[in-house]
Amino acid sequence: MNILITGGTGFIGAPLVIKLLELGHSLTVLSRQSLQSRPQLRYVKSLEQLADNATIDAVINLAGASLADHRWSAAYKLEILSSRLDTTRSLLQLMQRLEQPPQVLLSASAIGFYGHHGDELLAEEGAITPGFAQNLCQQWEDLALQAQALGMRVCLLRLGVVLDAGGGAFTQMALPFRFGVGNWLGRGDQWLSWVHRQDVLAAIVFLLEQKQLSGPFNITAPEAVTSRGFCDAMLGHRRTLVNLPVPAVAMRVLIGEMADELLLKGQRVIPQALQQAEFAFEFPDIDTALADILHGATKVA
């Protein structure tokens, strides 16, 4: 397949590019960076570089400014929004002008789509509570769904917290444990719906190949953990000198609004649509995932 990817240099995108090349696909990656193209892998800085008669079978949309790298000032919140919505709008414009529209769009979203919930189990039709991340995901998904009007299959990737070594949330989550400090956040009873990065890559390939599938897909491991549960699981792999909570008030002072939006409140998500489609998770529980991430048996990148 000829596949166009945005965000193909990121924590998910970079190993996805390697995996798709290994599967024999030809890729075009939209990137703001100056990167060297090579056979089967073309980098473009603008979608204008693609001719109207270009052949693109599938589009995977992962681009967006990181939610965790900066404090959420008003200006940065605008960047979080515009980096996703503007990229998705440009993709729509491209797909509209192509002589032959692609068959499928896989577009990233996040479990933040549901807003915050307590212990309630959330499948794809789960209830929504308003908030910044919820509003972002809603707008992002609504734009992506416009590709349906072109006859395209659209899958919405509602990603959980993607865990792996060498980047993403895990690097920050594991840091205190490296210094002998086990910790959980706030009360520790908030849910962390996580997923191993290798299962994310496998789910994306699965959704690419299963042509009968469309709509929203929670991409989270079948067994979410609480913040305290994550700490307990880490303690099975890392010796600590002290285990203690990071007080909610300290987190709010340190990182502001992001503390409540991403860390002190959560959602307990189940990947119902993927499981109904018989997708098999390689890392269904946190112990298996941590064993792989911390002891590194099966790395892809």
Ligand X SMILES: NC(=O)c1ccc[n+]([C@@H]2O[C@H](COP(=O)([O-])OP(=O)(O)OC[C@H]3O[C@@H](n4cnc5c(N)ncnc54)[C@H](OP(=O)(O)O)[C@@H]3O)[C@@H](O)[C@H]2O)c1
**Interface contacts to ligand X, rule CB under 6 A:** 7, 9-13, 31-33, 62-66, 79, 83, 87, 108, 110, 159, 161-162, 168-169
CB of 239 to ligand X, least distance (A): 27
Nearest-CB residue for ligand X: 10
**Which is nearer to ligand X, 74 or 241 (by Cβ)?**
74
Q: Is-contact 115 131, C-beta < 8 A?
A: yes
CB of 186 to ligand X, least distance (A): 20
**Which is nearer to ligand X, 159 or 274 (by Cβ)?**
159
CB of 262 to ligand X, least distance (A): 10
**Which is nearer to ligand X, 70 or 237 (by Cβ)?**
70
CB of 121 to ligand X, least distance (A): 19
**Which is nearer to ligand X, 35 or 240 (by Cβ)?**
35
Where b means 16+ CB within 10 Å and e means fewer, 70-98 reads eebeeebbeebbebbbebbebbbebbeeb
Q: Is-contact 157 217, C-beta < 8 A?
A: yes
| 33 C-beta neighbours (distance < 10 Å), count | 8
CB of 109 to ligand X, least distance (A): 7
Q: Is-contact 23 69, C-beta < 8 A?
A: no
**Which is nearer to ligand X, 62 or 246 (by Cβ)?**
62
Q: How far apart are CA 1 and CA 178, in angstroms?
A: 42
**Which has the closest alpha carbon to 114: 214, 216, 42?**
216
Q: Is-contact 193 160, C-beta < 8 A?
A: yes
Q: Is-contact 202 263, C-beta < 8 A?
A: no
